[in-house]
Amino acid sequence: MADGLYADGIAAGRLSGEDYEKNFADLHPPLDGHEARVEADRCYFCYDAPCMTACPTSIDIPLFIRQIATGNTLGSAKTIFDQNILGGMCARVCPTETLCEEACVREAAEGKPVQIGRLQRYATDAAMHVGRQFFGRGEETGKTVAIVGAGPAGLACAHRLAMHGHTVTIFEAREKSGGLNEFGIAAYKTPDGFAQAEVDYVTAIGGITIEHGRALGGDVSLAELARDHDAVFLGMGLAGVNALNAVGEDADGVENAVDYIAHLRQASDLASLPVGRRVVVIGGGMTAIDAAVQARLLGAEEVTICYRRGQEQMNASAFEQDLAASKGVTIRHWLQPKRVLAEGGNVTGIELEYTALSGGKLSGTGETLTLAADQVFKAIGQTFDAAALNGSGAAITLDGGRIQVDGEGRTSMPNVWAGGDCIAGGDDLTVSAVAQGRDAAESIHRVLAG
């Protein structure tokens, strides 16, 4: 993506340096010690812990909050890391408002849950700040495991395998580790290079080697990995992006939201990033919200999200929708893209068709709306690219376009496990990917230990 003005209405440097710094500051500033203890004291320490049941990684939330309340911050961090070694990132990006905090008894009683996510960040940040490691590498077993993908699932799997003494090599296609934590999360959620700091913290256990620029299906094959290692874990996430299926979507100014977010996350100077004056985002999930909000923060004057269904059907949480609205983003429902308008090859607008449910089926009404735009982002979901698996050894069964696994993460190919966004039935959450990587590691260990 070139710097400076390119195409009508798309330009870099729309704001002052101070504005960029302010706009992309930490979304939720960390609690200080006093604030953390006051918030911890609000916990009822419920015996049945509905918050714990709602956590995909089953962190003992009442225990870690009690430890904060009694001044045992590092002990609290260990309780979190016992179940979720990427607890620091999850504290920042988890939709806690629809998971643990929604289940909090305080939420039901008062409409104001205990701020579990911020307390989790307080504890994990304290441990990472002093470099405190709670888990040592187990006695060397002589077994080797190959992991494809250095995202949340792959890192969680690698750490747990290292705890058991196995030697792990992670093959990562990108130039950096972290997966979506590094490339796909809004910059204001994880500022100051936290994703890389967490990778360093996780791999400090030892016994984990990461080889970057090594893509499955190109640089390495699944058959090779299965031959040269005792087990393989696939955690490569999703690489494909769904098309708009709209006429003219190849015009300049139509971009994949995930690529734009990745570019923004790696930019050393936000002022160098061009953004449209009038931006339209197609989609209703977290990626759509992240793209829209960041476009506004970069200086776009008008940003509109268009979603084909109603507000209740949006995958983005109510908190994220409210966040977008607070930043000046307009969200319009019951609209689907029909045609991208362009002049001289550059986007000038988008024609959308109103939709409605009829007999439980979504269809267009024939009535259309045209929005002026000089930049359009596609954020209508990603797909798993199975091409890397083809011709790479024994066939792996797919389900709905993603890898089919059993309850322990095992695929149909012997000694090959999978987890994260690439598996069928996943919910595309960092915390779920961590749980799947961790649990697959335990399954791998049981097999390798005989």
Q: 243 — alpha (psi -120 to 50), left (phi > 0) or beta?
A: beta
- pLDDT average, residue stretch 385-399: 78
In a domain, 135, yes or no: no
Residue where a domain stops, chosen among 342, 357, 381: 381
State pLDDT tens for residues 312-365. Answer: 999 999 999 999 999 999 999 999 999 999 999 899 999 999 999 988 899 999
pLDDT score, position 394: 67
**Residue that terminates a domain, selected from 98, 129, 160:** 129
Q: Which residues pair with 216 in a beta bridge?
A: 220
- Position 393 scores a pLDDT of 57
168 and 233 together in one domain: yes
Q: Is residue 93 situated within a structural domain?
A: yes
Q: What is the pLDDT of residue 360?
A: 86
State which of 113-127, 212-226, 381-395 shows the largest mean pLDDT.
113-127
Q: Span 371-396, mean pLDDT?
A: 85
Q: Does 269 lie in the same domain as 195? A: no
Distance between CA 229 and CA 343 in Å, rounded? 54
Q: Convert the pLDDT of each residue in 63-101 to its tens digit.
A: 999 999 999 999 999 999 999 999 999 999 999 999 999
Q: Write out pLDDT tens, residues 217-248.
A: 889 999 999 999 999 999 999 988 888 889 99
What is the arithmetic mean of pLDDT over 115-131? 97
Residue 1 has pLDDT above 80, yes or no: no
Indicate whether 271 and 364 sit together in one domain.
yes
pLDDT at 239 (0 to 100): 83
- Would you tell me how many other CB atoms lie within 10 Å of the CB of residue 318? 13
Residues 69 and 79 placed together within one structural domain of the fold = yes
Domain assignment present for residue 332? The answer is: yes
Give a yes or no: residue 55 inside a domain: yes
Could you tell me if 245 and 347 lie in one domain? yes
Looking at 105, 129, 153, the residue that finishes a domain is: 129
Same domain, 90 and 179: no
pLDDT for the residue numbered 359: 87
Q: What number of helices (H) and strands (E) belong to the chain? A: 17, 19
Range 103-113 burial, b when 16+ CB lie within 10 A, else e: bbbbbeeeeeb
Task: Please report, for the domain that includes residue 123, its CATH number.
Answer: 1.10.1060.10
Does residue 39 have a pLDDT over 60?
A: yes
Task: Write the CA distances from 221 to 211, 215, 217, integer angstroms.
Answer: 14, 9, 5
The verdict on 373 and 248 lying in the same domain is yes
Q: The domain spanning residue 309 has which CATH number?
A: 3.50.50.60
Indicate whether 37 belongs to any domain: yes
Same domain assignment for residues 370 and 255: yes
Query: What integer pLDDT is reported at residue 242 of this predicted model?
Result: 87
Residue 137 covered by a domain: no
What mean pLDDT comes out for the span 141-167? 98
Q: Yes or no: say if 380 and 244 are a contact pair by the CB < 8 Å rule.
A: yes
Residue 388: what pLDDT? 83
Q: What is the pLDDT of residue 4?
A: 39
Q: Which among 88, 97, 72, 79 is positioned nearest to 122, based on CA atoms?
A: 88
pLDDT of residue 65: 98
Same domain for 246 and 376: yes
The pLDDT of residue 391: 57
What pLDDT is recorded for position 389?
85
46 within a domain of the structure (yes/no) = yes
pLDDT digits (tens, 9 = 90+) for 397-430: 999 889 999 999 999 999 999 999 999 987 889 9
What span, in angstroms and rounded, lies between the C-alpha atoms of 434 and 84?
Answer: 7
Q: Kindly report the average pLDDT of the chain as a whole number.
A: 94
Whether 1 maps to a domain, the answer reads: no
Digit-coded pLDDT (tens) for 262-278: 999 999 999 999 999 99
pLDDT for position 5: 38
**Domain range holding 57?**
33-129
Over 70: is that where the pLDDT of 131 sits?
yes
For residues 246 and 373, membership in a common domain is answered with yes
The answer to whether the beta carbons of residues 304 and 281 sit under 8 Å apart is yes
Q: Same structural domain for residues 359 and 436?
A: no
The one-letter amino acid at 74? L
Q: pLDDT grade, residue 7 (50/70/90)?
A: very low
Q: Are residues 266 and 340 in the same domain?
A: yes
| Domains: count for the chain | 3
Closest to 274 in 3D by CA, of 17, 48, 18, 5: 5
